[in-house]
Amino acid sequence: EAGVTQSPTHLIKTRGQQATLRCSPISGHTSVYWYQQALGLGLQFLLWYDEGEERNRGNFPPRFSGRQFPNYSSELNVNALELEDSALYLCASSLVTGRRPQHFGDGTRLSIL
Amino acid sequence: QQPVQSPQAVILREGEDAVINCSSSKALYSVHWYRQKHGEAPVFLMILLKGGEQKGHEKISASFNEKKQQSSLYLTASQLSYSGTYFCGTISMDSNYQLIWGAGTKLIIKP
């Protein structure tokens, strides 16, 4: 069974540009979660999508947005990039239940120059 | 509300035991434990459900005290491979299955 896949692995942008990150969940998982992890820090919750709908979003500005497609894959868009957006962006998928784990992809390392 | 993990960091010698705690102020439905090695994605360890279940995985086990809303992760006879940052995540009874993450506990195992 294929795990969660994220693309690209690395992304280098300059300030003010826009970035698009992609995530394919494990087959059968309907929920996709996005997290931001700055170097050496914890997991900051960004967005949660389930069945194509946004279920919840973390304390991030509106320039962080995303969507979930009918095949449950998802993309995260970050507009007007700022230096502090440099981080590892992790995607996880799960079934919507408190009894099932989230499975993480390897992440996209976004660097803003 | 974010669960509180303690300690923030711990350094052990190989073969020693460690306990990592995760406390919440909310009534919990489940507690999830993950380990993240440097430069890698978090990896699922185990889930504990309301009911005081204790689960184990080789020399790593965990308990869930429902009355205290606290979970503890036990690492017995630690190995070098146990090094990493351990995160707990909690789902409270009044949430819509939203997992809230603790800040993490950094575990360093020395030979």
Name the residue among B44, B100, B101 with its Cβ closest to that of A101.
B44
Is it the case that residue B62 has pLDDT exceeding 70?
yes
Rounded distance between C-alpha atoms, residue B99 and residue B39, angstroms: 22
Rounded distance between C-alpha atoms, residue B62 and residue B44, angstroms: 13
Structure tokens at A4: 């969660």
**Structural domain count, chain A:** 1
3-class DSSP state of B97: coil
First to last CA, chain B: 37
A4-B98-A56 Cα angle (round to 5): 85
Q: In which band, very low, low, confident or very high, does the pLDDT at B54 lie, cut at 50, 70 and 90?
A: low
Residues 36-95 on B with a CB inside 8 Å of A are: 40-44, 47, 49, 87, 89, 91
Rounded distance between C-alpha atoms, residue A48 and residue A31, angstroms: 7
Q: In which band, very low, low, confident or very high, does the pLDDT at A98 lie, cut at 50, 70 and 90?
A: confident
Is it the case that residue B56 has pLDDT exceeding 70?
no
Q: What is the mean pLDDT of residues A97-112?
A: 92
Structure tokens at B78: 């630690």
Domains of chain B, by residue range, sit at 4-94
Q: In which band, very low, low, confident or very high, does the pLDDT at A41 lie, cut at 50, 70 and 90?
A: confident
Total count of residues recorded for chain B: 111
> How far, CA to CA in Å, does B26 sit from each of A39, A95, B29, B67?
29, 23, 9, 11
Q: In which band, very low, low, confident or very high, does the pLDDT at B52 lie, cut at 50, 70 and 90?
A: low
Give the H or E element holding residue B55.
Answer: strand B55-57
- The answer to whether the CB atoms of B40 and A106 lie below 8 A apart is yes
Q: What is the mean pLDDT of residues B23-48?
A: 93
Question: What is the extent of the structural domain holding A58?
Answer: 5-112
Name the residue among A98, A105, A106 with its Cβ closest to that of B97.
A98
Is it the case that residue A47 has pLDDT exceeding 70?
yes
| Chain A residues within 8 angstroms (CB to CB) of chain B | 33, 42-43, 45, 48, 55-56, 90, 96-107
Instruction: Give the count of beta carbons closer than 10 Å to the beta carbon of residue B110.
Output: 11
- The answer to whether the CB atoms of A99 and B32 lie below 8 A apart is no
From B109, B68, B73, B67, select the one nearest B88 (Cα to Cα).
B73
Q: What is the pLDDT of residues A49-79, one digit of tens each?
A: 999 999 999 999 999 999 999 999 999 999 9
Residue pair A91/A104 in contact (Cβ under 8 Å)? The answer is: yes
List chain A residues with CB under 8 Å of B90.
Answer: none
**What does the pLDDT read at residue B66?**
86
Rounded distance between C-alpha atoms, residue B38 and residue A64, angstroms: 26
CATH for A101: 2.60.40.10
- The answer to whether the CB atoms of B41 and A106 lie below 8 A apart is yes
| Strand-pair category, A44-50 with A31-37 | antiparallel
- The answer to whether the CB atoms of A43 and B49 lie below 8 A apart is no
The percentage of chain A sitting over the pLDDT mark of 70, rounded to a whole number, equals 99
CATH class of B4-94: mainly beta
